[in-house]
Amino acid sequence: FVYEVKSWTEAQRHCREKFTDLAIVEDMEDVDALIRLADLSQMVYPSYSQRAWIGLYDTKNIWMWSLAD
């Protein structure tokens, strides 16, 4: 988790600078794991909003999913 507000591009750049990438959520097991992480982060950072980007982004007023398969 990164506890800073970032655009999708900024978040991806941040991850790639750390030799990783944005998480891919493929099923409910992944969703449950992220919810547990968000709950844990709320205990550590109570002012954190728990909002997360889910893969939808806007390019020139056209909404696209980052994972298009």
pLDDT at 68 (0 to 100): 58
State pLDDT tens for residues 3-49: 787 887 898 999 999 999 888 888 889 888 877 877 766 655 566 55
pLDDT at 51 (0 to 100): 62
pLDDT at 59 (0 to 100): 77
> What do you get for the CA distance between the two ends of the chain, in Å?
25
pTM above 0.75, yes or no: no
Q: Where along the chain do its domains lie?
A: 24-69
Q: Long-range contacts for 2-8 (Cβ within 8 Å, ≥24 apart)?
A: 3/41, 3/45, 3/48, 8/53, 8/57, 8/66
- CA 10 to centroid of chain Cα atoms: 11
User: What number is the average pLDDT over the span 63-69?
Assistant: 68
Instruction: Find the angle CA(11)-CA(67)-CA(25) to the nearest 5 degrees.
Output: 75
Measured in residues, the chain has a length of 69
User: What number is the average pLDDT over the span 54-69?
Assistant: 72
